[in-house]
Amino acid sequence: MLSDRFRFWKIGAALAALAVLVAYAAWVGPKAYPGYHEARRDPAAFAGRTIFFGGDVIRAADDEFTFRTWDGLVVAARGRIGGDQAGFRISGTAVFRADGTLDVVQHHVYRYRITKNLLAVLPLLAVAFFFFRTYAFDRRAFVFRARSR
């Protein structure tokens, strides 16, 4: 199973399986979990349905807020998220209204996102450092081999 025989076929099969899974998710995902962009394309069909949303909070008030989607659309939403959330990223579910606004059902505000990402990368860098200190990639054989000391 882990022999060097048919290595390229095994790698090709794994990449093909990954490509099939990505294509399936891209095809089925928007139908199973519609987002704001799908609802905006056909507002009449999605009016009153629960959809997923996400973006960066621009302005927050007591019972409403405005956020910018990841491709630049500005959306108004009704729901309590707190007045000090401007500038943070938000995602959640909401009921879509025919006029393009949202009534938030549940949400999550991502505070300290950059700090969390940096803290998550540190262990990865440590593992990569020790791995590449111990192993070297042999391009001719297309494998990692232990470095000679």
pLDDT tens-digit map of 13-56? 999 999 999 999 999 988 888 999 889 988 999 999 999 999 99
Mean pLDDT, range 78-92, rounded to an integer: 85
Instruction: Give the residue with greater pLDDT, 6 vs 45.
Output: 45
Q: E strands, 61-124, where?
A: 64-68, 74-78, 89-96, 102-110
- Give the confidence band of 3 by pLDDT, cuts at 50, 70, 90: low
Evaluate if residue 89 carries a pLDDT over 80: yes
Domain boundaries, the chain: 1-32, 36-110, 114-146
Evaluate if residue 10 carries a pLDDT over 70: yes
Whole-prediction pTM: 0.68
By the 8 A CB rule, do 67 and 88 touch?
no
What residues contact residue 123 under an 8 Å CB cut-off, 6+ apart? none
Which architecture characterizes domain 36-110 according to CATH? Beta Barrel (2.40)
Evaluate if residue 7 carries a pLDDT over 90: no
Mean pLDDT of the chain, nearest integer = 90
Predicted local distance difference test score (pLDDT) of residue 68: 94
What residues contact residue 62 under an 8 Å CB cut-off, 6+ apart? 80, 83
